[in-house]
Amino acid sequence: MRSLLVKVCGLNDAENITGLQSLPVDLLGLIFYPPSPRYVGRTGLRPADIPGGAARRVGVFVDPLFPELLKQVERFQLDFVQLHGGESPEYCRELRQIWPSVELIKAFGVDRNFDFSVCASYEGLCRYFLFDTKSPDHGGSGRRFSWEKLHEYQGRTPFLLSGGIGPSQIGELQQFRHPQWAGIDLNSRFESRPGVKEVEKLRPFLQALLAPTTDIQHPKTNIQP
């Protein structure tokens, strides 16, 4: 059984989300950040538009106020909240106290000057970290950061790798190693337009990445792919 988690983020089209059910996707990312071109409110996506199934729902927020965040958690029955702004460890701790059943993913924008020591104060509060390319738009830039930088991360929290991952990176992903690498986050490089992913572009990519011959070792998680 594979252990690499697959998150497809920035979804706002009901038919497209249904089409993804045929793929080995573990986490569906829904963006609740109005400036994003993938904001769920742009298409009027409703909770009923998202089919039930094995994939878990991740709500992506940027510095949200608690009332709005909690409203969307309940409305969309979110399994995870991904915080993509400047949310503090205290914010994460309070959210865990208010809604302990919701798991947290804390995103960090990485560039060549990023200091991974800032992650230490979030240890024990988040199920995963997400390392994305630093961008003023809080993700979705389609640009990569140097994965060599990740060798500086010595924390205990497993992470998802994000930032401009596309079909051309399959070989590099098959060779990538880190003891806390738990999965990948896919977005703009597989889109036909913002919010709509190309299922038949994702399919061969995931088949190749998740083939048993890749021999990738990852930390164990409680999410069963």
* Model pLDDT for residues 89-129, shown as the tens digit of each residue: 999 999 999 999 999 999 999 999 999 999 999 999 999 99
* Model pLDDT for residues 180-223, shown as the tens digit of each residue: 999 999 999 999 999 999 999 999 999 999 987 544 444 544 45
* Model pLDDT for residues 36-48, shown as the tens digit of each residue: 999 999 999 999 9
Helices 89-98/66-76 angle, 10° precision = 50
Euclidean distance between CA atoms 22 and 199, whole angstroms: 9
* Model pLDDT for residues 149-180, shown as the tens digit of each residue: 999 999 999 999 999 999 999 999 999 999 99
Q: Where are the domains of the chain?
A: 5-214
Please name the residue ranges forming H helices in the chain.
Answer: 14-19, 66-76, 89-98, 170-175, 199-209
Burial 151-180 (b: 16+ CB within 10 A, else e): eebeeebbbbbbbbbeeebbeebeeeebeb
pLDDT, position 216: 46
Q: What is the pTM of this model?
A: 0.91
CATH numeric code, 5-214? 3.20.20.70
**C-alpha closest to that of 7 among 204, 162, 175, 157:** 162
* Model pLDDT for residues 18-33, shown as the tens digit of each residue: 999 999 999 999 999 9
pLDDT, position 3: 84
**C-alpha closest to that of 23 among 206, 210, 212, 196:** 206
| Tokens found for residue 176 | 């990538």
Beta-strand relationship, 5-8 and 27-31: parallel
* Model pLDDT for residues 57-81, shown as the tens digit of each residue: 999 999 999 999 999 999 999 999 9
**C-alpha closest to that of 37 among 203, 191, 148:** 191
